[in-house]
Amino acid sequence: MSSCPFCALAPESAGDDLVAWRTPLAFVVVPTQQRPRNRGHMLVLPRAHVTRLADTDAELRAELYGVVGRVSLAVRKAFDATGVTVFQNEAAPDQVLHHLHVHVVPRRAGDDFRLPAPEKLVLTLDERIAQARAMRAALA
Ligand SMILES: [Zn+2]
């Protein structure tokens, strides 16, 4: 889907500064908006444009959630988090991007995490690139 910003990042050659990891079927990117107290939020996505988890096959689900597992450990290391919250929306009322994606959010004491986020910060490109670099190091 040409207008999908996630599909634009899926190919091997695209947006590497913002891609923390690519596997044959999945990839990890740093979202533009993050909760101010949960910086280091990552998105894990299938490289193919899929909109519903129910439309994925067992191979893709296994790889996607295998990557989620690795990322859930790596965000703690990269961003000094004590834990993570993992979630995925499908056609939620406030959802604007419909390429299937799993959120991995680093958690810390007193971060007051809620869904939907009461406030979000638009990160600078430099901060997003730095987060992707920190994740690549933590995943290595
Ligand atoms: Zn897409």
For position 83, what pLDDT does the model report?
97
Is residue 1's pLDDT more than 60?
no
CA of 111 to the centre of ligand 1 (A): 31
CA atoms within 13 Å, Cβ hemisphere of 22: 16
Separation CA 6–CA 73 (nearest Å): 23
pTM, two decimal places: 0.93
How close is the Cα of 83 to the center of ligand 1, in Å? 29
Domain containing residue 64: 5-139
How far apart are the C-alpha atoms of 125 and 130, rounded to whole Å?
9
Q: How far is the CA of 82 from the centre of ligand 1 (A)?
A: 31
DSSP string of 26-90? EEEE--SEE-TTSTT-EEEEESS----GGGS-HHHHHHHHHHHHHHHHHHHHHHT-SEEEEE--S
Count of domains observed in the chain: 1
Percent of the chain residues past pLDDT 90, beyond the cut? 80
Answer for the pair 70, 128: CB distance below 8 angstroms, yes or no. no
Q: How far is the CA of 44 from the centre of ligand 1 (A)?
A: 12
Whether the Cβ atoms of residue 26 and residue 64 lie closer than 8 Å to each other: yes
Query: Is 51:6 a contact under the CB 8 Å cutoff?
Result: no
CA quadruple 84, 5, 121, 137: dihedral positive or negative? Answer: positive
Average pLDDT over residues 91-100: 84
Q: Supply the residues annotated as catalytic.
A: 101
The pLDDT tens digits for 38-78 are: 999 999 999 999 999 999 999 999 999 999 999 999 999 99
Looking at residue 91, which CATH number applies to its domain? 3.30.428.10
**Does residue 16 contact residue 24 with C-beta atoms inside 8 Å?**
no
Please give the distance, rounded to the nearest whole angstrom, from the Cα atom of residue 97 to the centre of ligand 1.
Answer: 8
pLDDT over 70, % of the chain: 98
At residue 46, what are phi and psi to the nearest 5 degrees?
Answer: -70, 145
